[in-house]
C-alpha cells in the first residue's frame, strides 16, 4: 500500500495512491487522519484495516470517480507523509561510496566507522514534494543535496537487540538531507578529529528536510537492501545509488541508537547517502536559486523541490 499526505479542500488528509489517482482515506472508511503519521500512530491493526479498505477501493475505482472523490496524482498538492514525527533520525557516513568520495576530496583516510553515526533533523525542516527549498539569506552558498532511503517505525522500541528490530519497521519513505557545507570548514580540530556540531547545525535550516513523496508498507519493497535511487539537479544525474551499499543495516542502526532513544510509531530514520553529493565534486557543485532537485527511488516515486532565495 502507498499512502500520502495530501492537501485537499477539506484540509490535509491521509490518502491512498491508486494507480494515477489519489483517494482520501476519509472517502474509504470515514477516518479523519490528517497525515500518514496519524495513520501509523493509530496502530498496526488500524493500518491493516485501512489496507483492506484500500484494496476494496481499488476494485471500485469507478464508483469513487463518479462521486468526485479522486484526485489526479499529477495535480495533487502533497505534504510530507510525516509532517510532525517525534524523530527524524539521520544516519551519516553509512554508504561506502560516499565515504570513498569524501576521502578522495579531502585527501585523507576516514575508514568505515566502527559504530553508526547519526543526528536529528528538526520538524521545522520538513517539507513535502513540490515545496521550495529556501536558501538561508545569511548562508545561501554551498547548499548541498543528499538522497537518503529511510524507514519508518511502527512499534515503540528502546534498548532492543538487532533481532528484535524487523517487526518494528512498518515501511519506507525518502528524505533529502539538505546540508549547508560552509560550516564544515570549521569542524576540523587541530588534532585531526572532527567536531560534528557545526555540520549538524547546518542541516537544521527550515525546508532542509524534503520528505516523500509517499510512504509504502513493507510488502511493497520485499528486499530493502536492493533499492535503486538517484538524484538529478536540473535533469542532470548527480547520485545513482543502491541500498546494498550500506555499511550498517537497519537493524544495526536502530539497535545501536535505541540504547539512548525511544523510537515511536511514525518516527522516520534515514540510512545515509550514497556518492554524488555536490561538495565532493571537482569543482564543487551547489544548489542555486531556480534549481530543481529530484530524488527518485524504486517503488517510492520522485520527490521534487525547487530552490529559491530566502
Dihedrals phi, psi of 303, to nearest 5 degrees? -100, 115
pLDDT score at 108: 85
In the chain, % helix, strand, coil (3-state, to 5) comes to 25, 35, 40
Number of Cβ within a 10 Å radius of residue 78: 22
Domain ranges, ordered by start, for the chain: 2-79, 88-309
215: number of Cβ within 10 Å: 32
What pLDDT shows up at residue 253? 98
- Strands 88-92 and 117-121, bridge-based pairing: antiparallel
What is the bridge-based pairing of β-strands 169-176 and 21-24? unpaired
Handedness of CA 220, 224, 228, 229 (dihedral sign): positive
From the options 1.10.490.10, 3.40.50.1100, 3.40.50.720, 3.90.850.10, give the CATH code of 88-309.
Answer: 3.90.850.10
* Spatial contact of 144 and 278, defined as CB atoms under 8 Å apart: yes
pLDDT mean values, one per 10 residues, the chain (310 residues): 95 97 94 96 95 94 94 95 97 95 89 93 98 96 97 98 97 97 66 61 95 98 98 98 98 98 98 97 97 98 97
Cα–Cα distance, 242 to 260 (Å, whole number): 29
Closest residue by Cα to residue 214 from 36, 52, 27, 9: 36
Q: The C-alpha cell of 280 is what? A: 565532493
* Partners of 152 in beta bridges: 171, 268
Look at residue 186 in the predicted model and tell me its pLDDT: 59
Query: Which among 162, 139, 114 has a CA at the least distance from the CA of 259?
Result: 162
- Cα 45 from chain centroid (whole Å): 24
Amino acid at each position: 500500500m502507498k499512502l500520502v499526505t495530501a492537501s485537499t479542500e477539506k484540509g490535509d488528509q491521509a490518502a491512498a495512491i491508486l494507480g494515477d489517482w489519489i483517494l482520501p482515506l476519509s472517502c474509504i472508511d470515514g477516518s479523519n487522519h490528517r497525515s500518514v503519521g496519524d495513520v501509523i500512530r493509530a496502530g498496526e491493526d488500524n493500518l491493516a484495516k485501512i489496507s483492506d479498505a484500500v484494496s476494496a477501493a481499488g476494485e471500485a475505482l469507478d464508483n469513487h470517480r463518479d462521486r468526485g472523490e479522486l484526485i489526479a496524482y499529477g495535480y495533487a498538492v502533497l505534504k510530507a507523509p510525516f509532517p510532525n514525527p517525534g524523530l527524524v533520525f539521520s544516519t551519516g557516513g553509512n554508504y561506502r561510496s560516499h565515504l570513498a568520495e569524501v576521502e578522495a576530496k579531502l585527501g585523507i583516510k576516514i575508514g568505515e566507522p566502527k559504530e553508526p553515526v547519526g543526528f536529528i533533523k528538526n520538524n521545522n525542516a520538513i517539507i513535502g514534494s513540490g515545496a521550495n527549498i529556501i536558501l538561508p539569506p545569511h548562508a545561501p552558498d554551498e547548499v548541498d543535496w543528499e538522497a537518503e532511503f529511510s524507514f519508518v517505525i511502527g512499534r515503540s522500541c528502546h534498548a532492543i537487540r538487532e533481532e528484535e528490530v524487523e517487526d518494528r519497521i512498518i515501511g519506507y519513505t525518502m528524505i533529502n538531507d539538505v546540508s549547508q557545507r560552509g560550516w564544515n570548514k570549521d569542524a576540523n580540530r587541530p588534532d585531526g578529529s572532527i567536531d560534528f556540531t557545526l555540520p549538524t547545525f547546518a542541516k537544521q535550516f527550515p525546508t532542509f528536510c524534503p520528505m516523500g513523496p509517499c510512504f509504502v508498507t513493507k510488502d511493497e519493497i520485499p528486499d530493502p537492501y536492493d533499492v535503486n535511487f538517484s538524484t538529478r539537479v536540473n535533469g542532470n544525474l548527480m547520485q545513482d545509488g543502491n541500498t546494498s551499499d550500506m555499511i550498517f543495516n537497519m537493524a544495526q542502526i536502530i539497535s545501536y541508537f535505541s540504547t539512548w532513544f525511544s523510537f515511536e510509531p511514525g518516527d522516520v530514520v534515514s540510512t545515509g547517502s550514497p556518492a554524488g553529493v555536490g561538495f565532493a565534486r571537482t569543482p564543487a557543485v551547489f544548489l542555486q536559486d531556480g534549481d530543481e532537485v529530484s530524488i527518485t527511488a524504486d517503488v517510492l516515486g520522485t520527490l521534487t523541490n525547487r530552490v529559491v532565495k530566502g
